[in-house]
Structure formats: C-alpha cells, structure tokens
A and B are shown apart, each in its own frame.
Chain A
Amino acid sequence: MFGGRRRDQHGGNGSAPAAVRLDSVRKTYGKGDSAVEALRGVDIALDYGSFTAVMGPSGSGKSTFLQCAAGLDQPTTGAVILDGIDLTGMSEVQLTELRRERVGFIFQSFNLLPALTVEQNVTLPMKLAGRKIDRNRVADVIRRVGLDQRRSHLPGELSGGQQQRVAIARALVSEPAVVFADEPTGALDTRTALEVLDLMRESVLVSGQTIVMVTHDPVAASHADSVIFLIDGQIIGQLKHPTAEAVAERMTHLTAMVERPQRSFSLSQAQGQGRRDRGGNY
C-alpha cells in the first residue's frame, strides 16, 4: 500500500541481513567520576519488515539506544550496521547523508517546520537530498495518512494527531530502510494515538516498512511485532506478539526489580535528566 521497497540482499556469512544491527554497543556520557554509562553492551539485530517496540523505565537508555541505532549519535564502543552499512567512524556529514537516504524519524513533538505547508514538510527530505521530487509519491503518501484535504495547511492549523500523521508521511516518503519513532503517541490522546499506531502498523504490513519505536506506553507497544525491554543500558528481555496486558505486567515486574537497588545508587536519576514520564497505562 505504501509501495515500500522489499529487500532481499541475502548473503554475508550465511545469516539473513538485518535492517539494523547493534554489536556490543556501549555509550558513556561524561568523563571520570561523573561518567554515566547509558548503554552497557547492547547486541541486537532487527529484521527488515519488523516492527519493534523498545520499552524500559526512565533512564534505562531507550533514547540513547534510538540515537545510536538511527545514526544521530556514535556509540563509544561497538558497531551499528544500518541497512548493511557500518556507521563506525562516519563523519557528521556522512551520517546526515545516511539518515536522509535510509532513515525516517517520527518525534514525540512532531517537529514539523512551522513555516512549511503539509505538502512542503513531506517533500523536505527529498529536497534536502537534492533528489527529483516524485509528485505522485508525495500525493499518494499524503492521501494514505488521510490529509488529502489539508495539503496546503500550515502545521499550526492542524490538530496534534494530524500533525503526527504529517510526520509519518514525511518519514515514509523517502522509502527509508528503518523508521525510528520516539514516543510517537506521547503527546496525543488515546483515540488519536490509536489512529497513528494503526497507520504505522499498516505500513509494516502492507509495504514491509521496518519500524523501531521507543515508548512508555504498553498499549502502543502492543502494536509492535515484538517488544525489547531495556534496563540500566542492557537488554534484559524480549516479548513476541505482545498484548498490552502482558507488556504492562512485565514492565511492572521489571520496574519493581530495579527500583530497589536504585534507592542506593540512584543511577536512573542521573541519566533521566530532562525526560518526564508520560501517559503510561500502568
């Protein structure tokens, strides 16, 4: 339905290639005594066409995971391989060019350019890449997210749910290898959140889009094929074909497990500066 590209680049040491793979990724912020380890050895491979939710309590390293996986930031050690390309040692400009070719983003606060219309916002990644603009494709994507009638509106004239749908269209338009979503429903009410999640799910089912979504919300996570649980910068579990109840239960359990030791050394407080918990169902 979204006309996403199928990838069948097999080969390479027998194993099926992953859309994004993290090998022993560690990320440390700061130096010396004030150093904080946000990721402490993450190994994971996410297949093409998969929809993965990343969950964990505040300060578990979810955001850092997303930033490293999406090429927004470089790990301290370890390697990230995105769409078959090793990001290690890439310059800022190389990373930027990689992102605009192979990565799409959906943010919690939409992050549309307020000066541009819906259509111009969706076209922007193509323009940044200096590519010829495929008008049909842009029109198609906008129609699929249901904003056909609003193509020349400014973001300020749209509701939150509509803005997030523009952001989804912007993320999908350049047929990226992976779409990274950072709390995509965090700023939306329950009903609109469901619409947005259905739209994301649809792109995975119909056109095989790969999506990695960081979320707090078990309901949101239940739309994914599988859920990865992060605690203290490490992956400590995975749940296939999740339901909201199962996710919530697991989260409660995990949170209780880490909260006891936290009282003594308060790691997550150090990591979680600036981030607030939002709208969880647990």
Chain B
Amino acid sequence: MWQLALRTLRYRKAGFIATFIAVFLGSGLVIACAGLMETGITVAVPPQRLAAAPVVVSGQQSYLVPKEDPNDLKDMKTVALAERQWLDPEMADELASVDGVERVVAETNVAATVLREGRPVQAGPQSLGHAWESAQLGPFALVEGDEPTRDRDVVLDAATANLAGVKVGDQVDVVTNGAADSFRVTGLVPAAEQDPQSLLFFADSAISDLGEHGGQVSSFGLFLRPGVDVEAFQESLEDRFAGQPYSVLIEDDRGLAEHPEAVGGRAQLIPLAAVFGGMAVFIAMFVVSSTLGLSIQQRQKEIASLRAIGGTPAQVRRMIIGEAFFVGVIAAVLGCLPGIVIGPLMFELISEAGVISPVVEYRQGFFAYLIGPVVALLSALLAARITSSRAAKVNPVEAMAEASVQRKWVTFPRVLFAVLFFLIGIGLFIVTGAFMTGPVASATAGPAVMAWAIGLALISPGLTKVIGRLFAAPVRAAGGVVGYLANNNMRLRSVRMAAAVTPIMLAVGIALSNFYISTTQEAAAFRWFAEDLRTDAVVSSSTGGFTPEVVDQVRSVEGVEAATRYVTSAGWIDKPYDGSHVSSPWPMQGVDGESAAQITGITPVEGDLAGLTGSTAGLPVAQATEIGVGVGDKVTLRLGDREQAEVTVVALYEAKEGYETLLVSADLLAEHTTTGLAQQILVKGAPGASSEAVMAAVGERVASVPGAIVGDNSSIVTFAKGTETQTWVNYLLVGLITGYTLISVANTLVMATASRKRELGVQRLIGTTPRQVMQMLALEASVVAAIGIVLGTFASIATLMPFSIVVLDRPLPAGPVWIFLAVVVGAFALTLAATLLPARKILAVPSAEAARAAD
C-alpha cells in the first residue's frame, strides 16, 4: 500500500500541492512558535553593563503572591513585578563576607539625559546615570580624559558625547531628578554597542543626590577569587538567600539585572506562542483534511475498483495515510527553511510591539527544529487518519457504475461530532457570557470560533445546499441559462461545493473573530480605563519624569482649571487578604488629590478623591465590600517594587468588572516606580477653554522644561497601552494566520476546479461556449464565496457576541466596518481568482480532449 501511495503521489502531484504547502508552512510556523516559547522560557539577556562580573545579585523581579492562608504554599503564582526592586547598599558588606568573593561592586541607576541646545539626546532607548565605580562592571574603561571626581563631573560614552556635540573638558547640560544642570565632561568611555543606550558616569559621592533611587543599589556585581566555580557559588549563595527576594544571576541571566522589565514579557510571550502555534496546527489539519477529502472524492472510482479486486478497507486507509505521510515528511522537513526566517522575524515584530524587550536573545534551537516538523507531520497524519475513513467507506459496487453518484454525507459519526462541536461552541458562549470578566474573556472567546468552524464544516454539505437554494433565484436572474447551469451544479454537487465552502468559512471566521476581538478589547480598555479621564492636554516627559514643581507651574497657567501628575504601576492588596487579583496584579493609577476629582471624572460613592495625598488610596466599592474595608480603614498595599505601604482608604467608587483600578496618591506611587518620578501631567482646561488653547498655553509654559512634550488626551499612558501593543500583535498574528489560511484555501480551490476538467469539456462539446463556461464558474464561485462568508460570519458572531457583552455591555463588537468589508471583498476576490485562473487553463485545452480526460 505504501508503494501504491508513493506511485499515486508521483502521478497526481498537483493534487497534493495544497497538502504540501499547508504542512510546509505549518511546520515553519510551529518551529517559529517553538522558538518563541524557548525564548520566553529561557529569557536570556546577554549582559553588557555587568558583563565583567561573573555573578550578579539583584532584586527578585517576580513576586510569589501569598494565599489567604499564608502557610498554604501549594500552587502559588509567581508574577513579574511592575517596577525595579531596589537593594540596600548595606548588603555589600554581607556579600563581601561570603566565601569565594573577592570584591563587590554596587551598580546604581538614575534617570539622566544629556541636552543639546535644550533638547534631550540619547544613543538608544535608555539614558541612565551610574556611579563611576560601576564602570568596571562593563567594558567601559576610559578612552580619553579622567574619571569624574567632583559633584558636577560626568564621563560620557562616545556615542552620546558625539550626539551632544561635546568633547572632554566641555560643559554639558544634563537632566537628573527632572531638572537640568551643567556638568563638566571629564572623560569618555566606549559606546555601548551590543545594547545601544546612553551611559553617564558620575562621581561616586555625587550619585545619591542625582535621583530618587540614587542612594539605593540596582544590583551588585561579584568578582570571585581565582578557582571558585561560578555555578557552585551561585548555588550556595542561593541557598543562603533562600526565602529572601534576591536573585543570583550568572551567564546570560545577568542581563536581567540590567533589564528587569524583560522578565515581564515572559508571561505574555509564552501563551502568545502557544496560541499561535495551536492555530497553525489547527489550520494545517483543516487544510490537509479538506484537500485529502477532495482527492478521495475525485478518485472514488479508482478506490472502488481497488476495493472490488481485493483491497480491504484497512488497506485503502493505509494508502491514503501513506500519501499524507510521504507528502507530510518532505513538507515538514523542508518547513525548517521558512522556520529559519519566520522565527526571528516574528520575534522582531513582537519585540518591536513591546510584548517582550528586544534585549532578550532570540533562541530557536534544535528542539524547535525537532518539534516543528514532528508536530506538523503528526497533525497531517491525524487529519489523514480522520479523512481516510471516507475512502474506506467507498462501496466496491461503484467500480461498476457509469458515473460516480453523489454520496450520502450524513453519517452517524459526522452528526455526532457536529453536535459535539456545537455544544463546545455553545458552552464557550455561555462561559464567556456568564462567567468571564474583563479582558480575560478573550481566553474563552478565541477558541470558540474553532469549535464553531469545525461544527459548521461537518454539516457544510447540508448547509451549502440550503443556503445555495436561497441564492438560486438571484443567480438565475443574474445569469439566465448560465445561472440555470450553475444552480444545477450547486444542487447536484453540494458535497463537492461544500469542500470549497469550508475553507472560505474558516478563513472568514478566523479573520473576523480575531480582528474584532482585538478592536473590541482595545475599545473596552480605552472606555473603562481612560474615557473617564477628562483631559485637554497631556504633558509627557522624555527625560525620566517631572518634579512636583512642574505641576505647580502648569496649574498656574491661565485657562487651566486643574492639573495632576499621572503615574501608572501595578501591585497587590496584601492586607486584608484580597483574592481578586492574583495572577494579574491590580492596575494602579497615581494622581494628585487636589485635582483628581476634576480630572478623573470619577464620582466616589463614598469619601472624597481630594484626600488622595500621602499614604492614601481609593478602591472600587465592590472589592472594598468583598475584603470588608470602608472609608477611613487601613489597607496594606504591595507596590510594584515589592515594597509594602499602609494606606488609608479615602474614597470608594464604581468600576466596570474586569477593568478595576486602584487610585493611589501620586506621591506614594511615584516613589515606588523605577524612575521615582511621574512621567505625565494631565491638564484640564477651565470651562469654555478649547483643548487647542489649553495645549498651546501649557506648551508655552513648559517650553523651558527639558524633554516636556505636550499632546492631546490620546497620548495618555493608560493601561490601554498594554492592550494597544496586544492589538498590534494580534493584527500581526491574525494577518499571518489569515495569510496562511488563504494560501491553503487558494490551493484547495485551484484543485477543486482542475478536477472538473472532464465535466467542463463535456459541457463545451454540447455547445456551451468558453465564455458561458467562465460565466457559469464565476457565478458558482460567487455563490461558494457568499455561502462561506455567511457561515464564517455566523461563526465569528457566535464568538464575538458574548465577548462584547462581557467587555462592552453590548452585543455589537467595536471596530471599523472596513475590516468586515475587506474580509468579504478578499474572500470573493480569492475565490474568483482561484476558480477562474485554473479554469482558463482548462478551457485552453480542446474540448474533445478535455471530455476524454480521466476524472
């Protein structure tokens, strides 16, 4: 049977192109996803600033969220911290006393930006100031000049000095702590090449005054005595720190101390890779199954005679699976080639979108190249196994019949599975609508479209017939005799038509549901997080943040009614116990109490937002009730830098389920962020003042503040930002997946049309002109596309409706109509092109020859 499979493949190469392409690209995509997953699991960040120290000790950038019973240590969730956890300089002595340690060097980070003619310049996404002592941790020996010794001395890296247009001995303006001051350039170090950024080294004695966290340590570099084994040392130091929130990093993990935010990407990257890989596998199976199904249909008579002359059903099955195996093996192995390209490309796009820091090293190793082809091949074989039962059921009597008659498609397993998948779809519908809250609803809404698509695919021959009948009248009206022929084909060959309808439905369903899930999520995030913010202007800092004085300046501008610092972070409520935010921390918004009421648009149910100063917070009323606190009570917060803070509840307010945020005083929240300063100021104009006027007036006032940029309210850094990048990535992935589906669908359609060579030849022999044949096919293709679009739209509605109800309180998803129109037009164009182009080729063959062609 294997030999027969092989011969068949060589004879019917064209019929297996679609299978080949589906497995080939599927293998490449799964390799890429495995690579992304490997990258997400290892999070390797090669060190730069800390490269010289073999061992680095930093704060543990993830938090083990405690349970209600603090002694219950099972299944605790580890969640990335939103901010850098700072260390106490005193720790240096303890570390220095550890066996094997030769020397301990502390590294400190402060936000510091060089100005050129009042404008900030920087040689990369970061611009940080450090103590000169820590220069020895990286490849930063002086190439020119001397080390900084006085308070206003600075050593720059060559790239930054070049951008600022300064040499050794010049004065340069540097913004630290939100204010500019003049420094003398005493020396230069080499530019940071591997991870471009601006480096400013200050005198060791000066650093503590130059930033909110200048007196603290970001990480310690440890130099070991000769002969000490690094890994063994790491192990012993970890044992010593057991239970304490410190990380001992070696090798490519050391970069995590430079980029603590890199850890945060892991939580997004891993599920993203899994979902995307799963989709690729699903589509590969779908396409393989539908193309094999078509090929079985075309070879019905051949298979029947094989059965008649003594091939058992099992042998026929083996032949079909064998065909898929041979095509699959070659395609899956060759899929490594696109895998080499797709993986790094996807990583680049995903890191550009901000899901994971670009400093993380992309890793796609042997494992990915093993898993991708194996998974792709197995899914092809599984699809073949399922489809082959159709071949095994071919009745040997059909070898005798003159023409192959349409087979009965309603079989018990088909109905059973259709019902099963519809039940899953309905189940997900109910779960999404009734039990999910907020953005996580997409977790159940996403897979729903797959369940609906499979269910619809199983009963598609019947649906094609029914819906086709609805289109019969318009087709007849549009096409006359040609329409009559098309209608006849639709009616008599609904099973065959369904083979073309199914992939279109799949493409339309996946595209619509994914695009609109993204846009709906974005709209919901904006609505619940940012819509309430009544701002006319937003001042953003590109130099590390604003001092409170800048807010006062802005407030005093004429036409400004209120202005507040705006700080965003994330954390937990530690006491009393709060089980509502475990795996994803509470979003926290920091605002100044005196302006909060005017700007946030939140009207408290109880208390007053004006009280948001010092150690205070506001809570959504539902959660406050849940944990049993009211206005005036005290709760303990666990902030983004792991620090605890006891705050007094000053206000309770209503919030949309799933989108709740904690309001914290800006002072408190800013202190516990990485930079220590507010990055934005929100401004509300006096009644009657236009936003433009407010922006202009504020812009004039802050012109002297270095790095201050005035924008409208769309530039608010809200939590919507997170979903915005998510949306972007979704577009990318949906685009890729849709593209993959389209390539496969096009192949299926081309194959379906090519198989009608004989039928079209006969039609021409009896007097149908090539033009009429083309018209007939165009009509048929339009109906096929229309049915696919109707079913695909249904599948996506079943997915989107409950999701929209959950996140937007209405059944209609948010998003532009053009997406729908583009998908519809795309589906039509693709179907017509994939049907008519091969048809033109067939029509070029003399009709008599075509009529004789083997089926």
Contact = CB atoms under 8 A, between A and B. Distances in A.
Interface of A: 63, 66-67, 72-73, 92-93, 96-97, 99-101, 103-105, 107-109, 111, 113-116, 120, 124-125, 127-129, 154, 156, 170-171, 182, 274-276
Contacts of A113: 4, 7-8, 302, 305-306
Contacts of B841: none
Question: What is the interface of chain B mostly: helix, strand, loop, or mixed?
Answer: helix
Interface in B307-326: 307-315
B465 to A, nearest CB: 20
Given A111-B305, A113-B4, A100 B310 contact: yes
A153 to B, nearest CB: 13
Contacts of B240: none
Contacts of B401: 274-275
Contact of B309 (A73, A109, A128, A275): A128
Given A63-B400, A113-B302, A99 B11 contact: no
Contacts of B8: 113, 115
Contacts of A73: 397
A97 B315 CA distance: 11
B12 to A, nearest CB: 7
Contacts of A127: 3-4
B438 to A, nearest CB: 55
A101 B310 CA distance: 8
Contacts of A72: 308, 396-397, 400
24 contacts: A67-B400, A72-B308, A72-B400, A93-B312, A93-B313, A93-B314, A96-B311, A96-B312, A97-B310, A97-B312, A111-B301, A111-B304, A113-B305, A114-B854, A115-B11, A124-B309, A125-B309, A125-B310, A128-B306, A128-B312, A129-B310, A156-B854, A275-B401, A276-B402
A90 to B, nearest CB: 13
B640 to A, nearest CB: 66
A121 to B, nearest CB: 10
Interface in B379-420: 396-397, 399-403, 405
A102 B315 CA distance: 18
Contacts of B405: 274
Given A111-B399, A128-B311, A105 B11 contact: no
Contact of B310 (A67, A96, A111): A96
B74 interface: no
Nearest to B853: A156
Contacts, number: 93
Nearest to A171: B309
Given A104-B309, A114-B302, A276-B402, 6 more contacts: A63-B400, A66-B400, A115-B11, A171-B309, A274-B405, A275-B402
A107 B400 contact: yes
A115 B400 contact: no
A114 B314 CA distance: 21
Contacts of A125: 309-310
Most interface-central of B304, B308, B405 (chain A CB within 10 A): B308
Interface in B692-743: none
Q: Give 10 nearest A-B pairs by CB, closest first.
A: A100-B310, A115-B11, A111-B305, A115-B7, A115-B8, A128-B310, A96-B312, A128-B311, A182-B400, A72-B396
Contacts of B11: 114-115, 154
Interface string B39-74: 000000000000000000000000000000000000
A105 B305 contact: yes
Given A105-B308, A115-B11, A96 B313 contact: yes
A104 B308 CA distance: 9
A127 B1 CA distance: 8
Contacts of A109: 301, 402
Interface string B773-809: 0000000000000000000000000000000000000
Contacts of A103: 310
Most interface-central of A97, A107, A276 (chain B CB within 10 A): A107
Most interface-central of B306, B397, B400, B401 (chain A CB within 10 A): B400
A39 to B, nearest CB: 14
Contacts of A170: 309
Interface in B333-391: none
A30 to B, nearest CB: 13
A276 B308 CA distance: 22
B794 to A, nearest CB: 35
A96 B307 contact: yes
A53 to B, nearest CB: 16
Most interface-central of B304, B307, B310 (chain A CB within 10 A): B310
Nearest to A70: B308
Interface string B271-312: 000000000000000000000000000000110111111111
Given A67-B400, A114-B11, A115-B12, A92 B313 contact: yes
